[in-house]
């Protein structure tokens, strides 16, 4: 293995690979796997039973062939694939280490390779539960093996990833049903991976074929989650994975694009509320900030008619009162108030938003984004009272804000940013405000 790695080293400072060295490395790997005797003047003769190539060696050689411009590189890669699948392990832990190495390899074919390794080891299983010398029990795939295969697809950018993750979950279901082995029983994390794999399709607004038919991505996620707590919830404790499953379904409905002709049939806001109610029911406590914020993001996007904006405002007010907030919660609520009223914002509404900002200050959750949100609509007097700035500083800020406050895209979210005179904005920087107002918001920002 060390000799193979030496052959793969660049021959000069330009990082060029000598073609003959790549052939020597490949020939040596074939010899190590018992495919052929070492050639190309290699002095090494190896016993495949004692010197089978390690996964790191195979991955390194695979990467070099992928980068190569040699005409036979596809044939060489197929030879490596055969060796990877023929690699025998005696312990499940070793099998899982091999899969983890492939997950960090950045090779395009990783999802197929990892799934193929899983299927290869499943095909070697004997029907009885007791181990035999040729098929030791501890060499069989366990729940982590299936998780790694799911993760390979989850981390890929392939459009078919959700269906492939579903296929692995269905396989676990079938194996558990037929064998009753605990090692095949899906747990909360398997379901979480299936749910998260469908998130990539929420913003397309298209229907996709999956286990439950041709549905919107958020509908696939909802149907999987409806099955999960009834069949596989191990106890009455809301684990981190279960909480993340509910966060995923809420995030899915908040992000789901709905085709124009289906707006009447599919109600994103109602689905968000129903899942938040369900989560609060099993939690037996106030919903956590990520779950509430997903519903609030759905409210932000719930625009259009006056009735829709009014409903979004009412839903957001209820979620704000019933859940536990974080810094993002206050920003989203202020945005919803602004978007639901449009040009009709009056003094009463500004006062209401100022109360929300005071709540954030009291909780230590005042963020820079919240400052810009309220500063966009508040008058000089409100800004003086909220942030203890001078009358002159407040008036100067208000005079410049129409030209200096603008929206920028950060991923899928719009953020308000100040791009004008720094002197006018320095009094409104959270860095210059009392720490008691913003210390938790700053801690959260540092973690992000």
276-293: pLDDT as tens digits: 999 998 888 899 999 999
pLDDT of residue 133: 42
Q: What is the rounded end-to-end Cα distance, in angstroms, of the chain?
A: 40
Instruction: Write out the two tokens for 127.
Output: 């029907």
Q: Is residue 10's pLDDT more than 60?
A: no
- Measure the CA–CA gap between 396 and 401, rounded to whole angstroms: 9
For 295-346, the DSSP string reads: HHHHHHH--SSHHHHHHHHHHHHHHHHHS---HHHHHHHHHHHHHHHGGG--
Mean pLDDT within 220-243: 75
Q: pLDDT band for 14, please (50, 70, 90 cuts).
A: very low
pLDDT of residue 24: 81
- Measure the CA–CA gap between 247 and 301, rounded to whole angstroms: 18
Q: Is residue 68's pLDDT more than 80?
A: yes
Mean pLDDT within 157-172: 95
Mean pLDDT within 169-194: 92
Q: Is residue 13's pLDDT more than 50?
A: no
Q: What residues contact 165, with CB distance under 8 A and at least 6 apart?
A: 150, 153, 154, 193, 194, 197
- Measure the CA–CA gap between 295 and 123, rounded to whole angstroms: 45
Q: Is residue 154's pLDDT more than 80?
A: yes
Of 27-41, 313-327, 342-356, 400-414, least confident by mean pLDDT is 27-41
3 state SS of 181: coil
Answer whether 333's CB lies under 8 Å from 356's CB: yes
Q: Is residue 345's pLDDT more than 50?
A: yes
- Write the pLDDT tens digit of every residue in 47-64: 555 678 889 889 988 988
Mean pLDDT within 307-324: 91
- Measure the CA–CA gap between 81 and 62, rounded to whole angstroms: 9
- Write the pLDDT tens digit of every residue in 84-112: 999 888 899 999 999 999 999 989 999 99
Q: Is residue 315's pLDDT more than 60?
A: yes
In the chain, % of residues over pLDDT 70: 85
Instruction: Write out the two tokens for 8.
Output: 């793969």
Q: pLDDT band for 45, please (50, 70, 90 cuts).
A: low
Q: Is residue 3's pLDDT more than 70?
A: no
Mean pLDDT within 379-404: 93
Q: Please name every residue paired with 309 in a beta bridge, in sequence order, or none if there are none.
A: none
Mean pLDDT within 400-421: 84
pLDDT of residue 233: 54
- Measure the CA–CA gap between 23 and 76, rounded to whole angstroms: 10
The average confidence (pLDDT) of the chain is 85
The 10 Å CB-count burial string (b at 16+, else e) for 264-292 is eeeebbebbbebbeebbeeeeeebbbbbb
Of 113-122, 224-233, 245-254, 255-264, least confident by mean pLDDT is 224-233
């Amino acid at each position: 293995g060390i000799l193979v790695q030496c052959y793969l080293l660049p021959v000069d400072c330009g990082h060029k690979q000598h073609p003959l060295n790549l052939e020597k490395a490949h020939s040596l790997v074939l010899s190590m796997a018992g495919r052929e005797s070492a050639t190309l003047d290699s002095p090494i003769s190896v016993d495949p039973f004692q010197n089978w190539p390690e996964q790191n060696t195979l991955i390194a050689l695979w990467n070099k062939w992928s980068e190569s411009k040699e005409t036979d590189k596809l044939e060489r890669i197929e030879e490596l694939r055969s060796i990877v699948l023929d690699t025998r392990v005696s312990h499940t832990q070793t099998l899982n280490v091999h899969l983890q190495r492939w997950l960090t390899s950045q090779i395009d074919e990783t999802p197929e390779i990892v799934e193929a390794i899983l299927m290869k080891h499943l095909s070697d299983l004997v029907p009885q539960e007791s181990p035999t010398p040729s098929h030791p029990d501890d060499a069989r795939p366990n729940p982590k093996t299936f998780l790694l295969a799911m993760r390979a697809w989850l981390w890929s950018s392939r459009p078919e990833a959700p269906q492939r993750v579903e296929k692995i979950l269905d396989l676990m279901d079938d194996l558990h049903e037929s064998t009753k082995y605990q090692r095949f029983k899906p747990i909360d994390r398997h379901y979480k991976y299936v749910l998260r794999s469908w998130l990539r399709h929420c913003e397309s607004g298209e229907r996709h074929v999956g286990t439950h038919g041709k549905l919107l991505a958020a509908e696939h996620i909802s149907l999987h989650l409806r099955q999960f707590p009834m069949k596989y919830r191990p106890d009455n404790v809301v684990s981190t994975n279960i909480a993340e499953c509910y966060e995923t379904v809420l995030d899915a409905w908040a992000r789901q694009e709905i085709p124009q002709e289906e707006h009447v049939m599919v109600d994103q806001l109602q689905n968000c509320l129903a899942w938040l109610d369900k989560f609060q029911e099993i939690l037996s406590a106030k919903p956590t900030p990520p779950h509430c914020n997903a519903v609030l993001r759905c409210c932000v996007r719930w625009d259009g008619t006056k009735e829709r904006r009014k409903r979004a405002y009412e839903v957001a007010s209820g979620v704000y009162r019933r859940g536990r907030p974080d810094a993002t919660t206050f920003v989203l609520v202020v945005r919803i108030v602004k978007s639901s009223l449009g040009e009709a914002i009056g003094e009463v509404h500004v006062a209401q938003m100022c109360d929300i900002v005071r709540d954030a200050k009291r909780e230590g959750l005042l963020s820079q984004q919240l400052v810009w949100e309220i500063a966009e609509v508040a008058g000089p007097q409100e800004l003086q009272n909220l942030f203890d700035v001078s009358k002159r500083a407040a008036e100067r800020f208000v005079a410049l804000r129409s030209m200096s406050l603008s929206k920028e895209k950060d991923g899928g979210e719009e953020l308000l940013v100040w791009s004008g005179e720094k002197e006018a904005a320095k009094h409104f920087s959270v860095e210059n405000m009392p720490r008691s107002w913003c210390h938790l918001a700053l801690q959260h920002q540092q973690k992000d």
